[in-house]
Amino acid sequence: MKLAQRLSRLGTETAFDVLAEVNELRRQGRNIIALSIGEPACNTADYIKNAAKKALDENYTHYSPSAGIPEFREVIAKYVASTRGIPVQPEEVVVVPGGKPIIFFAMLACVEEGDEVIYPLPGYPIYESMINFAGAKAVPLRLREERGFSFDVQELRSKITERTKMIIVNSPHNPTGGIIPKQDLHEIAELSLKHDFWVLSDEIYSRIVYEGKAESISQFPGMKERTIILDGHSKTYAMTGWRVGYGVMPKHLAASVAKLMTNSNSCTATFTQHAAMAAMLGPQETVDEMVKDFRAHRDLIVDGLNLIDGFFCRKPVGAFYAYPNVTRACRTHGFKDSKQMQQFLLHKGGVAVLGQQCFGTRSPEDDQDYIRLSYVSSVEDIKEALRRIETSLNNSKLVEEFLDEQRTKEMAK
Ligand SMILES: Cc1ncc(COP(=O)(O)O)c(C=O)c1O
């Protein structure tokens, strides 16, 4: 039976494919350190788990309103108002299963076929996927290493046309760990007001910041009416598997997104919402502790990566990813690109990382190679991973064996 044509436009998040590969190798008895997936290694705090158990005992097992439990929407509205410095009404909040559905729903609700959406490259792969799926044109805006992985405002200006319907900003940023300077956000805000486009502001890492402050574009005059803030519990409260996130947006859009929820999920799991509300109202020390640990992990991994020949890593200021430039290492060892290095490190080094191809379609002018390493694992695992990366790359016989296998595979195709 034939599948719908629109599916050919749908991309994916290859981190999940790598995770499946890691699990298969582990099943075969291989010892793999996974620095590929973007989730805190620590477990959800007990007070949150207890709140979920209590909610189950109190039979919060029925449908909730599609936009979320009213008290939870109120808690979120107060939190976003105080952290972003803007007034927020509960009616402007929609609770969804994870942060990701906000990308899906924002695209379905705001973008027409033929519209253009500007998104960061490299960037979270679901942006490009969903823009294409919605039938819009995906217009990449390159983040430049020499600018601390920020973009050039002049370049942004040159990408705007009369079809530009939305720009996606993500700060702190996955995969580079960069934060967009306030001045740049201000410039985007002015462009949005002038050219009348939406801003999808992905702020899922807003609490994971080591230096300075991650500002929200919604704070600038006139921007609240045209900004969709995406945030959620996955990263901040180590709740990736619970699936709870939210969007903050103008009321009329919130009502439409709630309708999309009615049509797709009905609602976010009710007892999960109770636990997520308890997470926000409870002690926040566990979040602070986690960020303190990540900071130490960041310093460890960045220093270690910079000791590996052919690697250069800037110190990320937010999120929990290191994104070293590995161009010289790829050239020295004969890897075609960072994807081949990813395969080598997984199969010969026993370390799972992600090559830059996981973060959007490479542009022809792009001649640099990067890999992403998530530094949420234990200090021991990070140290061992660094040791494995260095020793496997320095083992020329192992590299040659891998490249031979690759050539054989390609010839067999
Ligand atoms: C930038 C960014 N946005 C959104 C998400 C989605 O988060 P969730 O797991 O809550 O759907 C992720 C997850 O990795 C992310 O990195």
State the CATH number of the domain containing residue 261.
Answer: 3.40.640.10
Domain boundary among 281, 300, 318: 281
Q: What is the structure's pLDDT at 147?
A: 86
Residues 392 and 252 grouped into a single domain: no
Phi, psi for residue 39 in degrees, rounded to 5: -145, 140
Residues 95 and 232 grouped into a single domain: yes
Distance CA 140, CA 173 (A): 15
Distance from Cα 85 to the centre of ligand 1, integer Å:
23
Residues 295 and 257 grouped into a single domain: no
The model's pLDDT over 89-101, given as tens digits with 9 standing for 90+, comes to: 999 999 999 999 9
Does residue 137 belong to any structural domain of this protein? yes
Q: Looking at 122-241, which runs of residues are DSSP E strands?
A: 137-142, 164-170, 198-202, 227-232
Domain boundary among 281, 309, 331: 281
Residues 136 and 212 grouped into a single domain: yes
Ligand 1 atom nearest to CA at 234 = 10
Distance CA 289, CA 300 (A): 17
Does residue 44 belong to any structural domain of this protein? no
Residues 97 and 164 grouped into a single domain: yes
Does residue 46 belong to any structural domain of this protein? no
Q: What is the structure's pLDDT at 366?
A: 83
Domain boundary among 281, 304, 339: 281
Q: Is 268 in the pocket of ligand 1 (CB under 6 A)?
A: no
Residue 369 is part of which domain span? Answer: 5-31+286-412
Residues 211 and 257 grouped into a single domain: yes
Stretches where the chain sits below pLDDT 50 are none
Residues 222 and 351 grouped into a single domain: no
- Residue appearing with tokens 């705090």: 45
Ligand 1 atom nearest to CA at 124 = 1
Residues 70 and 188 grouped into a single domain: yes
What is the CATH number for 23? 3.90.1150.10
Does residue 42 belong to any structural domain of this protein? no
* Torsion angle, alpha carbons of 276, 279, 282, 288, to 10: -160
Distance CA 301, CA 295 (A): 10
CB under 8 Å to 210, separation ≥6 — which residues? 291, 294, 295, 298, 316, 317, 318
Residues 307 and 228 grouped into a single domain: no
Using alpha carbons, list the distances in angstroms from residue 366 to 121, 269, 301, 344.
Answer: 11, 43, 25, 22
Nearest CA to 156 out of 144, 174, 173, 171 is that of: 144
Helix ranges, 336-378 (H): 338-344
- For the entire predicted model, the pTM comes to 0.96
Does residue 39 belong to any structural domain of this protein? no
Does residue 153 belong to any structural domain of this protein? yes
CB under 8 Å to 31, separation ≥6 — which residues? 350
Residues 143 and 275 grouped into a single domain: yes
How many domains is the chain built from? 2
Element containing residue 351 per DSSP (H, E):
strand 351-352
Retrieve residue 178's tokens: 């960069």
Amino acid at site 208: I
Residues 199 and 296 grouped into a single domain: no
Q: Is 174 in the pocket of ligand 1 (CB under 6 A)?
A: yes
Q: Is 232 in the pocket of ligand 1 (CB under 6 A)?
A: yes
Burial bucket for residue 241 (CB in 10 Å: 0-12, 13-18, 19+): exposed
Nearest Cα residue to atom 13 of ligand 1: 38
The model's pLDDT over 292-351, given as tens digits with 9 standing for 90+, comes to: 999 999 999 999 999 999 999 999 999 999 999 999 999 999 999 999 999 999 999 999
Does residue 53 belong to any structural domain of this protein? no
Does residue 51 belong to any structural domain of this protein? no
Q: What is the structure's pLDDT at 364?
A: 76
Distance from Cα 99 to the centre of ligand 1, integer Å:
6
Amino acid at site 55: A
The CB density around residue 31, as the number of other CB atoms within 10 Å, is 9
Distance from Cα 100 to the centre of ligand 1, integer Å:
6
Residues 77 and 21 grouped into a single domain: no
- By most ligand atoms within 8 Å of CB, the mutation choice from 100, 206, 237, 359 for ligand 1 is 100
